[in-house]
Chains A and B, each alone.
Chain A
Amino acid sequence: MMFAAAALALLVALALALARAIGGPTVFDRALAGNSIGTLAMLMLAVIGFLTGRPDFLDLAILYGLLNLVGTIAVLKFFRYGNLGDPGEGGAGR
């Protein structure tokens, strides 16, 4: 019962963050909303694992969190340099 309430709250929060991701005026708004959606999806996976009595979902939440962090940084680097493999305009070591 309490897990269902938490899942409902997370669904509402996900819908609001999705609205910002769709309507965000700049690309940074979209990236920020995407990051928040990733965090909320991790929490959602954890809650669903408890809701259905299967704690294996927590592994999926960990994996999703790792991918979310790397994905956000990769998107930022792509929009800054236009290239993921380029060391950037600051020279080596960036």
Chain B
Amino acid sequence: MSALLDVLSWALILAGGAFCIIGALGLVRLREFYARTHAASVIDSAGAGLLLLGLVLQAGWTLAAVKLAMIALLIFFGTPTATHALANAALARGLPLQAPREERPSKR
């Protein structure tokens, strides 16, 4: 039972770390701001969720698990709010929804 939990939390933590790297890569590589918000949401949902779930499995029924659950709630309610406010502010400022076509090859 304990070995099973260990293997499961290994898999969850590694998957969470991989999703964090994928989201950060998207943050660097994607072409315009609104696409980058999508990449940042990968970090906030998949990366943080899987990582915290793996840590909860590792912590067991302790106070640390409760604190991890509070962190997860904070991330799941806080970061979509911040991202929505960010995209809303960018739209209100007049950031164009689509980057000009001729800039595509020059961007990384």
A residues contacting B by CB (< 8 A) are 2-3, 5-6, 8-10, 12-17, 19-20, 26, 28-29, 31-33, 35-36, 39-40, 42-43, 46-47, 49-50, 55, 58-59, 61-62, 65-66, 68-69, 72-73, 76, 79-80
Contacts and interface: CB of A to CB of B under 8 A. Distances in A.
B25 interface: yes
Interface of B: 9-10, 13-14, 16-18, 20-21, 23-25, 27-28, 33, 36-37, 40, 43-44, 47-48, 51-52, 54-55, 58-59, 62-64, 67-68, 70-71, 74-75, 78-79, 81-83, 85-86, 89-90, 92-93, 95
Given A33-B27, A73-B82, 7 more contacts: A9-B21, A14-B24, A15-B24, A40-B24, A46-B68, A47-B55, A66-B74
A46 B53 CA distance: 12
Contacts of B70: 62
A62 B74 contact: yes
Given A16-B25, A20-B27, A58-B71, A46 B43 contact: no
A65 B78 CA distance: 8
A23 B90 CA distance: 17
A28 B71 contact: no
Given A33-B27, A50-B55, A76 B89 contact: yes
Contacts of B24: 12-17, 36, 40
Contacts of B18: 9
